[in-house]
Amino acid sequence: MNELLVHPEIERVLLRQNEIEDRIDRVSADIAEAYRPHSFTVVPVLTGSFVFASDLVRRIPLPLELSFVWARSYRDGRSPGELELGAFPTAAEIEGRSVLLVDDILDTGRTLSSLREELLERGAADVKTCVFLDKPSRRQVEIEPDFRCFEIEDVFVVGYGLDFGGRYRNLPVVAALRPQGDAAGG
């Protein structure tokens, strides 16, 4: 048992390592199929997607390039704050390229749709999106991912790159956080 999982903030495990690996095998095959034989640039959104992106790209046997963007929308624990975007790829890295934007979770949709627009404005030839988790019930901006690993209910999750107050990114599973105000049972 991972000792991080026995913390009273953690309610339950939603996705185990083998489920995650099997699903990423499938999605990376779909991505390879969609792009083959063309080269493209994978743009992971830091910090949350670093674990997912690293597992994903190692399963795609195509000549891809990597370049990172940075975004932050959860500055106050679980509630979305103002969206900050930064550290975009240079023009040379994306101009005329097919881009696959990779994020940890699609929630309201603000982050991914803003980043997609910004990359197109900066000269990307086309931008597709791939998310590890999708919470469709929370959507505020109309956006559907081109590739998605798991659809989840509206619970705050941590692990596999996702954090709460900077913690839990290194959990190898996805776990639901206990709802705020709930006393930890047991």
Candidate residues 104, 119, 130, 160; the one interacting with ligand XMP per rule CB under 6 A: 104
Report yes or no: 71 and 86 within 8 Å, Cβ to Cβ.
Answer: yes
Candidate residues 10, 119, 149, 162; the one interacting with ligand XMP per rule CB under 6 A: 162
Taken in order 92, 39, 148, 177, the sign of the CA dihedral is negative
Inter-CA distances, 43 with 52, 57, 74, Å: 12, 11, 20
Candidate residues 108, 120, 122, 146; the one interacting with ligand XMP per rule CB under 6 A: 108
Query: For ligand XMP, which stretch binds (CB under 6 A), given 9-17, 32-40, 120-128, 155-163?
Result: 155-163
10 Å CB burial of residue 118 (0-12, 13-18, 19+) is middle
* Contact status: 157 vs ligand XMP (CB under 6 A): yes
Bridge partner list, 9: none
Task: Check if 76 is active-site.
Answer: no
Bridge partner list, 102: 44, 130
Kindly write out the interface string for residues 36-75 of this chain, putting x where it contacts ligand XMP by CB under 6 A and - elsewhere.
------------x------------------------xx-
Closest CB to ligand XMP among 124 and 174? 174
Closest CB to ligand XMP among 80 and 123? 80
* Contact status: 163 vs ligand XMP (CB under 6 A): yes
Bridge partner list, 131: 103, 148
Min dist. Cβ of residue 64 to ligand XMP (A): 21
Report yes or no: 143 and 112 within 8 Å, Cβ to Cβ.
Answer: yes
Residue 42: CB atoms within 10 Å = 20
Min dist. Cβ of residue 146 to ligand XMP (A): 15
Q: Which residues bind ligand XMP (CB under 6 A)?
A: 48, 73-74, 80, 103-111, 156-158, 162-164
Tell me which residues are annotated as active site: 107
